[in-house]
Chain A
């Protein structure tokens, strides 16, 4: 296990506070936990790609960051208008 995989594991455990944030407060308060989890997932995928030494895996981090943007924006617009 190299440094990159150790850092990725440490960031996986940082998902726990995001999970707690997703269970507390109003729906818009919970969005912060969801957005933070999306950012963390992108960073974890970057670290895993480097840790496993396969440059093709970097596309996963990039894709995740773009999908987190779309998902977050749709959720926020929904919360703003209808919920």
Chain B
């Protein structure tokens, strides 16, 4: 078994393992905004692991060019779709997209609050 074959198998193993973990994460994570993070995990790590495996196996050729194109398209497009999905979820929850300086986001101390306001809220 050559070093190239081992490298291909390692990269494919990384891709499969990472994809499986991300797929399990989207049903385990409690919050919608936590789930959508795992979409980019697959397009960034799994897709580029497969790309590296193809490059090692095929060298420079038609297959490599098309795989690069697919991975770049997936990476760019996923960012747009993830943003649109998060925006849709926010609009469905709040009725608008624009930010509110006094908005209380669960799990945070609130955007735009000054240190004095934060102290006052903690004392209350």
| Interface residues of A, Cβ cutoff 8 Å to B | 3-4, 7, 10-11, 14-18, 20-21, 24-26, 28-29, 31-33, 35-36, 39-40, 42-43, 46-47, 49-50, 55, 58-59, 61-62, 65-66, 68-69, 72-73, 76-77, 79-80
B107 within 8 A of A: no
Q: Which residues of B are found within 8 Å of A65, using beta-carbon distances?
A: 70, 73-74, 77
Interface of A is mostly: helix
- CB-based contact B42/A50 at 8 Å: no
Q: Which residues of A are found within 8 Å of B111, using beta-carbon distances?
A: none
Contact of B69 among A17, A29, A31, A62 (CB under 8 A): A62
- CB-based contact B47/A69 at 8 Å: no
- With the chains together, A14 CA to B58 CA distance in Å? 26
Q: Which residues of A are found within 8 Å of B77, using beta-carbon distances?
A: 65-66, 68-69
- CB-based contact B12/A4 at 8 Å: yes
- CB-based contact B15/A43 at 8 Å: yes
Q: Which residues of B are found within 8 Å of A73, using beta-carbon distances?
A: 80-81, 84
Given contacts A7-B12, A39-B74, A40-B19, contact A46 B67 (CB under 8 A): yes
| Interface residues of B, Cβ cutoff 8 Å to A | 8-9, 12-13, 15-16, 19-20, 22-24, 26-27, 32, 35-36, 38-39, 42-43, 46-47, 50, 54, 57-58, 61-63, 66-67, 69-70, 73-74, 77-78, 80-82, 84-85, 87-89, 91-92
- CB-based contact B88/A58 at 8 Å: no
- CB-based contact B26/A62 at 8 Å: no
Sample (25) of A-B pairs whose CB atoms are under 8 Å apart: A3-B12, A7-B12, A17-B23, A21-B26, A24-B27, A25-B32, A28-B32, A32-B26, A35-B81, A36-B23, A36-B39, A36-B42, A39-B42, A43-B47, A43-B50, A58-B63, A59-B66, A61-B70, A65-B70, A65-B74, A65-B77, A69-B73, A72-B81, A73-B80, A76-B81
